[in-house]
Structure 1
């Protein structure tokens, strides 16, 4: 009888983790969309009359840390463009946080096969980000 209680407690804990992960995805998307939407409104208020010249492409040679610092400082100052980028970063980070939460869930369940697979996914994400910003 004690063994069945352990199984029920284990399933209850797993269900709680799935609820947390589901809420993370749901609220992460809503928060990122809200921040980007507010940033769009702020951007249009301040730059709505400007005409963009899309015939000229400006390449960015800065590394990821400089870009994130610029976006952070701009968002703190209420810059619309930076708020839009902050929303995009939140949207990108939502599934990354889901993978990290899954890693902790698999560690608690002692499911080492999925811990290994999740670590490989995290490594792929890190490599993708690293090579995406290097020239």
Structure 2
């Protein structure tokens, strides 16, 4: 018969997952940014005229398909910004497992603020 993990063991597991998310997010974004910089050094250009940069998801992904270095760098920056937001989302789950309803609500409000600020920033470009 298999023993059910204790609440402390579950929380430790969630904390390990959160730490892994942060590490993977930072390493992945740094790798993508480094690839973009290497592409820029090889091509000798960012792929866009001076003063022009991809400033929407569509433009970034279109630039990546066209192998434009600056679009790859922008993707890396987007991943870097997304990493702590994902951490907040996973923290909601962690607090729910602990049955800490106050922190579930507080963390949910923080996530909503992050998402609203991101949308406002995106729309205000």
**TM-score under structure 2 normalisation?**
0.83
Of 12, 15, 21, the residue aligned with 1:18 is 15
Of 27, 31, 38, the residue aligned with 1:30 is 27
**TM-score under structure 1 normalisation?**
0.77
What RMSD, in angstroms, separates the aligned Cα atoms of the two structures? Answer: 2.6
**Deviation of residue 130 (structure 1)?**
2.1
Q: Specify the structure having the higher radius of gyration (Cα).
A: 1
- Runs of 4+ more than 6 Å apart: none
Aligned length: 120
Of 86, 92, 98, the residue aligned with 1:103 is 92
* 1:133 match: secondary structure: helix
Query: Matched residues in 1 for 2:123 and 2:62: separation?
Result: 22
For structure 2, the residue ranges without an aligned partner over 5 or more in a row are none
Of 76, 84, 91, the residue aligned with 2:73 is 84
Superimposed CA distance per residue, residues 86-131 of structure 1 (whole angstroms, 9 cap, x where no aligned partner): 1001100110100000011112222110111011101111221122
For structure 1, the residue ranges without an aligned partner over 5 or more in a row are none
